[in-house]
Amino acid sequence: MNYGENTAHMSAIRKRLNKSNYTSDDFSPEKGDPNLVRGFQGRPVGGIRNNVQPLQFYPSSNFVNYTDKDVDYLLKKLQSINKEIYNFEKLRKMSYKQLIENYSDSIKKGKYLSAYRTYEGAYMTNWEKFHKGIHQTALYDPKDQSINGLLRDMTNEPIIDVEMKEGGTQLKLIITFSDEGQALFKPMRHSRDYETLPDHFYFTDYERHNAEIAAFHLDKVLGFYRVPPTAGRKVNMTYDIKRLADRKLAKTFFKSPANNVCFHGACSYYCDTSHAICGNPDMLEGSFATFLPPEKIAARKTWRNPWKRSYSKHRKAYWEAYDDLCEKVKQRAPYNKGRRLLDLIDMHIFDFFQGNMDRHHYETIKDFGNNTFHLHLDNGRGFGKSIHDEMSILAPIYQCCQIRYSTFLKLAKLYVGPEKLSSETRSSLSIDSISPILTEPHLYALDRRVIKVLKEIYTCIEDGKPIDEVIIDR
């Protein structure tokens, strides 16, 4: 959606703040090369979303620095009102890693899955340890060494079985490793620098294997821990897939005119000769997302996203035409109490960073009731457009005008630096065996998007919403 064309959901008038008492760059990121620092003078305050200027690239330096007057103003204002909980000077001196650790240490884990509560095998594989570690507030504990072990296992363990996954729209394989761990495999369709075509809808886009890997790391960097561990790997299509496939899958293998091994499998979208998945000549990259425990151990509940898109080229969703969806959602269970609305908003911030418009549903683990986190499965449609920021993904933020305090603080920290969301994500992704996972323009886009989320909070507060109703500690 283009903001220039559709402003129905925006408040009609944005008040201008009197900024005369403030300097513009108190909280601006540390300045490096002064030539690289770009303030955005001369641009209207508030009013127009999507108005952070496109990043300029400095390929030789890996360093992009930029500031935003509205965000500087917001941070200054918050700090002047309550220095106890908004101390950005202190925040700038603390490392991002430390901030995230403080938060993950302070979160109570709540319940674990009942099937594993008393389970103590003499020897447990990494995937079993992962399953045992799933708890009410997160899928895993970042300090759990078995998570890195699991990523290594998915990269190195021999593959012993392959099955097509029923139900999904695009081709996916269920892979079993020699330690009996399982993963959902999504094959590479495009090279990393292939961008979604401007005339393609979000619902016809191919899934991207690197987006699945990037989503796991981004979620971890943000300190959410809501995406199952996901790793990239190159497989030999003949040895690792065709040899282990059943007849139905095996018979879809063929050799292309370029002498590459290809297959298309059977599914409802893109499973035919003209959309085949081809190796080079026999090697194929893919993402491996660790399987969650089976239904009988961890039954899941599927929830429709209230901000679901229309999935139609003709229709708009309610929230695209009207601004009052949040008022209705707030009245309804499970969003009327507890953490769920803030989790939904976290999920949309996460999706905004990735540019993922395909969040039609989400799941929770039934055993944990309503006071639990959202699973962020199915992230294959992110990272399709590096120079475009899809502001409509932030609809729950600007329509509810709410954000979780810890999420706000993390984003503020990534704004004041010195760490950036791009540098943290780049560093996390570098451990993957098929890195680089994201191109540099996609990484820089993350920093630009951090500013855009913070600007939405600025606008909410500028509009007169009480700060403690916008930034909520829950």
Question: Catalytic amino acids?
Answer: 358
Q: Please, which residue, 209 or 404, has the CB nearer to ligand ATP?
A: 209
Q: Among 377, 416, 446, 451, which residue interacts with ligand ATP (rule: CB under 6 A)?
A: 377
Q: Among 79, 126, 170, 356, which residue interacts with ligand ATP (rule: CB under 6 A)?
A: 170
331: exposed, middle or buried (C-beta count within 10 Å: 0-12, 13-18, 19+)? exposed
Answer yes or no: is 238 a known binding residue. Answer: no
Q: Please, which residue, 167 or 198, has the CB nearer to ligand ATP?
A: 167
Nearest alpha carbon to residue 233 among 146, 163, 175: 175
CB-CB contact of 231 with 213 (8 Å): yes
Answer yes or no: is 327 a known binding residue. Answer: no
Q: Among 103, 291, 303, 405, which residue interacts with ligand ATP (rule: CB under 6 A)?
A: 291
DSSP 46: S
Of residues 148-167, which lie at the interface with ligand ATP (CB under 6 A)?
167
Rounded-to-integer distance, Cα 344 and Cα 403, Å: 10
Q: How many beta carbons lie within 10 A of that of residue 293, not counting itself? A: 19
Written as one letter, the residue type at 171 is L
* Block residue for tokens 């961008």: 195
- Which segments within 63-188 are labelled E, that is strand? 159-164, 173-177, 182-187
User: Is 184 near ligand ATP (CB under 6 A)?
Assistant: yes
Rounded-to-integer distance, Cα 81 and Cα 88, Å: 12
Q: Please, which residue, 84 or 295, has the CB nearer to ligand ATP?
A: 295
User: Is 378 near Mn ion (CB under 5 A)?
Assistant: yes
Which residues are registered as beta bridge partners of 232?
287
Cα pseudo-dihedral 214, 219, 223, 226, rounded to 10: -140
Query: Binding string, 213-242, against ligand ATP, x = CB under 6 A?
Result: ---------------x--------------
Answer yes or no: is 445 a known binding residue. Answer: no
286's contact among Mn ion, ligand ATP, none, with CB below 5 to 8 A by partner kind, is none
Residue nearest to ligand ATP (CB): 168
User: Is 287 near ligand ATP (CB under 6 A)?
Assistant: no
Which residues are registered as beta bridge partners of 285?
234
Reading the block at residue 282, the tokens are 């026999």
User: Is 82 near ligand ATP (CB under 6 A)?
Assistant: no
184's contact among ligand ATP, Mn ion, none, with CB below 5 to 8 A by partner kind, is ligand ATP
Summarize as ranges the residues that interact with ligand ATP (CB under 6 A): 167-170, 184, 228, 289-292, 377-378
Summarize as ranges the residues that interact with Mn ion (CB under 5 A): 378
Residues flagged as binding site for ATP: 170, 186, 207, 289-292, 363, 378
Residues flagged as binding site for Mn(2+): 207, 378
